[in-house]
Structure formats: structure tokens, C-alpha cells
Chains A and B, each alone.
Chain A
Amino acid sequence: QVQLVESGGGVVQPGKSLRLSCAASGFAFNNYGMHWVRQAPGKGLEWVAVIWYDGSNKFYADSVKGRFTISRDNFKNTLFLQMNSLRAEDTAVYYCASGGSGGYHFNYWGQGTLVTVSS
């Protein structure tokens, strides 16, 4: 079955960096766009970034543009999120999600990894 397993979360000081990973299995990873979506404590879901199936295009939410970078390794079936210049408002559970057919929705989700930005 489809599995998405995030890792790399933790506590980090404002202004520092963190790199999240998402290991995928159970589906043809290199055929699908992949996303990061986050949920801040007590808040709703917020889309963060998408990378196309072949890595040729990447798009970001305004709130993270210029600070976060999404990437993927299709040989290792792994998705990444490099987060730089972290702010307190980046504190959230970060989920990786696979794009559905057509890329208009999020088909499968991981369990999430918590990122806490605090001094």
C-alpha cells in the first residue's frame, strides 16, 4: 500500500535551517507531483509547495517563497523540504502528500513531522 513517511522535524531557533524528508513507497513516485502541506497548532491546513513529477517545476506559497526549497530524488523515492530563515510562524506539523491525477488535489498523505521554531 502507499506509504509516505516524513522525518527531520524538531525544535530549531529562529533564523536557523532544517531539512525535512519524506520517504515514499507503494506507488510510482516518479509519476506524480508531490507537495508539502502544513498545519500550525490550532489552525487549518496550508499548502506550502509543489514539485512536478520530474522536478522540472516548483511553486511555493507566498509565506515561504525565497526561504523554502522543495526537491526530490526519484531514484531514492524521496521528497525534501529545505527550510531556511525559519520564523516562529513556521511552527507546524508538516505533511508530505502525493498529487492526485491531474494534480488538482492531494491523494495520499504522510503522518506528518512537527517543526517548532522557538528560542
Chain B
Amino acid sequence: KAGVTQTPRYLIKTRGQQVTLSCSPISGHRSVSWYQQTPGQGLQFLFEYFSETQRNKGNFPGRFSGRQFSNSRSEMNVSTLELGDSALYLCASGRGSGLLSNTGELFFGEGSRLTVL
């Protein structure tokens, strides 16, 4: 069973640019969550999508956005990049049905490491 795939794995951008990151969840999983990981702040929740709808959103500025497609693949976009956006962006997939049968386990990808210069 293929895991969560994130692309690109590494990228370098300059301040003011925008970036789009992609995530393909595990087959059959309909929930995709995004997290930002930095040495100072640790892992912070960005947003969660389920069946193409944003279900939850973390405390990040509007420059951070995302979407989910009908095949459950997700993208996140960061506009007007700032130096502080340099981080590892992690995508996690889960069954996320909200039903009692939901085991709740999230499966993380290896992340996209963004460096903003």
C-alpha cells in the first residue's frame, strides 16, 4: 500500500514569491491535513480537508491556503513568502470519516522542505 506522497521534497524560493505544494494521500483516505514544522514552533496545524471541503483551520494568516480535489489529492499554497515561512510542510492523510469506526490514525508524508531566501 503506497504511503502519503508529497512533492516537491525540497524547494527554494525568495521573499514575495508564492509556492504550491502537493500531497497525494493513501488510497481510500478522504481526509488530508497539513502541518508546518519548524525548530522553534514545532508542529503546528494548518488546515484539514475532507471530501473537498475545508473542515478545520489553524491559526495561520490568509496567505496560507489549500484545496482538495475529487480524487482526495490536496494542494497548499503560500503567497507573498516571508523568511519565517521556511519550514518543513507535512501532509497527513486519514480515513477521517468522523464515524466511530474511524481509528483516528494519521499517516504523514516525508514533507516538503521550503527555504525562503
A-B interaction: no
Interface residues of B (CB under 8 A from A): none
Interface residues of A (CB under 8 A from B): none
